[in-house]
Amino acid sequence: MPVINFEIGKLSKEQKRQVVKEFTETAVKVTGLPADAFYIFIKENEADNVGVGGLLQSDRHNSN
């Protein structure tokens, strides 16, 4: 059971469909394994839950 984890901000359902489709296609092409072997987990991270350079990501965006 190969697993692909993808962490990002908020995505639309259509974007999630595209990510799953294209990640799977690429993984199949590279590994030769069947598409149904892959599990893809999308974790959406709110900007308030991510810190970069000592600041919350949401604060970094607000200061620009």
Render pLDDT for 23-32 as a digit per residue (tens, 0 to 9). Answer: 999 999 999 9
Please give the single-letter amino acid code of residue 16: K
Number of domains in the chain: 1
Q: What is the pTM of this model?
A: 0.80
Which structural domain range is residue 38 located in?
3-62
Q: What is the largest CA-CA distance in the chain?
A: 46
**CATH number for the domain that contains residue 35:** 3.30.429.10
Neighbours of 31 (CB within 10 A): 11
In this structure, the strands spanning 39-44 and 3-8 are parallel
> What value does the mean pLDDT of the chain take?
94
Which band of pLDDT confidence, cut at 50, 70 and 90, is reported for residue 60?
confident
